[in-house]
Structures are given as structure tokens and as C-alpha cells.
Amino acid sequence: MPTTEKPYHHGNLRQALVDSGAELARASGPEGVVLREVARRTGVSHNAAYRHFADRDELLGEIAAVAADHLERAMRTRLDEVDETDPARRAAARLRATGRGYIEFAVAEPGLFHVAFCPLESGPHSKEDAGAYLLLGSVLDELVEAGAVTPADRVGADAACWAAVHGLSVLMIDGPLRDLTQEERSGVMEKLLTTVERGLTRR
């Protein structure tokens, strides 16, 4: 007699598949996200998984959104630690905090970090929809409001700051800086953040 597939009894299957995929991504990056393995770990057949996701790319897109959310939260955690009250110094400290949170997340969670920016067949990620990018923009706006950065220097600063911290993150997790000690890594990170801040706030 033909067997019938058992229904999923543990809540939202779509979310469970995303959660399982995120754990695979955490361990192995985007290459580790295989729909059949995600289904197996969730305890369902791959046919059940295909009822919720047309293909691996669609699942990977949802996992990328989860990873991006984790990245934004890491940046916000660092922002919450800023206790400076002077408007200009506070805005500068918040800029450094966003960069620090970004780089620290990349080093601590390289698998999720790679997934957050992995290319998708369905199309490129939209930076306008990325919470981390919007958060950076709001902090840069604070610098302008505080008089620490001119409106002219604000133009294009989002991409420049993003490129700086993203580039260092990649060098630390995949490139020649991956073997730095924690102390050395911290020193290079702070040097970069100081350089970015001084470049923006120069008179």
C-alpha cells in the first residue's frame, strides 16, 4: 500500500524550515543550505518543504533576511551602549558603534554574515530594504544635525562607510587578516573606525 506523508504537528512549518536553514547557514554559510537537508532536519519530507518554498533560492532569501535582522540587532546593541550626551560627540560615538557592531557580528557569525549578502538567482539584495543600511543612514544624519558633518560630505557617506566596515569584515573572516589575535583584530577595527570618523568630521 502507498504510504502517506505525516502532517507536521509542531507549529508553523515554513518558519521551522527557515529556522533549520538558518542553523545550517550558521555552520556552513550559504553553501550549507540544501533544501533536502533542511527538510530532514525539520523532520519532514523534501516534498513537504517544496510546498512552502519553490526552490532553494527562495528559502535562502528568507534565511538571508533573518541573517540581516541579526546583523541589525548586533549594531543596535552597540548603539545602546553609547552614553555620551554632547550631540556631536554622541553622534560620532554612535557612528563608531554601528561599525563596531557590524564587524563584530561578521567575525562572530561568518556563516550568517555570508548568507546576508549571498547572491540570489531571484535578484540582488536591495540595500534600501536592509535595516543595517538604513540604521547607518540615520546615524550619519545625526552627525549632520549635530553639525559634525556638512551636508555636502554627507552625500555618498552611506556607501563609503559601508564599504569600509564590510571590506574589513571580509578580510578578517576570509582574507589575510583572519589569523589575527583578538587583540590585534580589535586594534585594526578601532583604527578603521577612527579613520572613517576623522574623514567625515574633518573641517
| 19 confidence band (pLDDT: 50, 70, 90) | very high
- CA quadruple 146, 151, 152, 154: dihedral positive or negative? positive
Query: pLDDT tens, 63-98?
Result: 999 999 999 999 999 999 999 999 999 999 999 999
Q: How large is the C-alpha radius of gyration of the chain?
A: 20
Check residue 2 and give its pLDDT. Answer: 40
Topology annotation, domain 64-201: Tetracycline Repressor; domain 2 (1.10.357)
Where do we find the cell 553609547? 82
Query: pLDDT tens, 147-169?
Result: 999 999 999 999 999 999 999 99
Check residue 85 and give its pLDDT. Answer: 95
